[in-house]
Amino acid sequence: MDPRLKRAAWFLVDGHAEREPFGPFPEDACPRSVAEGYAVQDEFVALKSRACGPVAGYKIALTTVAMRTMVGLSDSIGGAMHDRQVVRGPATARAADYGRLIVEFEVAVQLASDLPAHGAPYTHESVAAAVGAVMPAFELADDRNADYASLATQALGLIADNAWNEGAVLGSPVTDWRAIDLAAIHGVATINGAIVGEGHGRDVMGHPLAALAWVANNLAQRGKHLRAGQFVITGSLVTSKFPKAGDSIGFDLGALGSVQLRVE
């Protein structure tokens, strides 16, 4: 690997350890293309795996045109999730463990079989056979007090920084999900019992499995693939929330059940 990109990965490791705000990379440790952004992400994920465990799944971010325009990218971006940061709900998270905690409200899938790179390009119809279970989920992310007004100049850094992922909280798996219309599924997000957002499965790329197909295709382009047992969170049905200590967060996905998170 280019030493510049190795320095970029260590810049991220050190920044997270020191709770430094998300910001520009040093000139001698800066990704210069989307491909380099993912190369730094891969190295950062490998370094992070020492403490957080192997990759247990993946996420997608920037699933809407408005979000991509805000950061100056033409496509969604992906990130990895680590085994020790993927937990079953109900769960707790400590606000003090994050620069600034973000919670998102998502449909998660668990794979029953691989989606090999040679099978790409995938569609939401072709990935369905590999899905073993579907469930509600929270994504836990950390924007490290990013300045959103300047994100358009730091899009490659967002890719490199693993799309800000810090794990997920998963609800109970539903294995007979094929009887449920995932595009029509209705999600309701609450904080301290008050509704803070609602959405449908179709609000993310038209169908949650379209997001799964995007992740499979993104990995295939990078010489990777989704494996049986891994999880994919498919994008938030509700705008991101920034909870504080003491908040109780819920996400109800109707026939897919619900999941709860307490922030301490």
pTM over the 0.75 mark: yes
Contact of 208 with 215, CB cutoff 8 Å: no
Domain boundaries along the sequence of the chain: 54-263
Reported as a single tens digit per residue, the pLDDT across 189-216 is: 999 999 999 999 999 999 999 999 999 9
- Return the structure tokens found at 173: 């798996």
> Which of 144, 137, 149, 32 minimizes the C-alpha distance to 86?
137
The stretch 19-40 carries a mean pLDDT of 96
Of 69-83, 87-101, 118-132, 155-169, the one with minimum mean pLDDT is 69-83
Reported as a single tens digit per residue, the pLDDT across 222-255 is: 999 999 999 999 999 999 999 999 999 999 999 9
pLDDT of residue 69: 80
- CA–CA distance, 119 with 167 (Å, rounded to integer): 27
pLDDT band (50, 70, 90) for residue 119: very high
Reported as a single tens digit per residue, the pLDDT across 66-101 is: 778 877 888 999 999 999 999 999 999 999 999 999
54-263: which CATH topology? Fumarylacetoacetate hydrolase; domain 2 (3.90.850)
Distance of CA 128 to the CA centre of its chain: 20
pLDDT of residue 249: 98
Those residues whose C-beta lies under 8 Å from the C-beta of residue 3, and which sit 6 or more positions away, are none
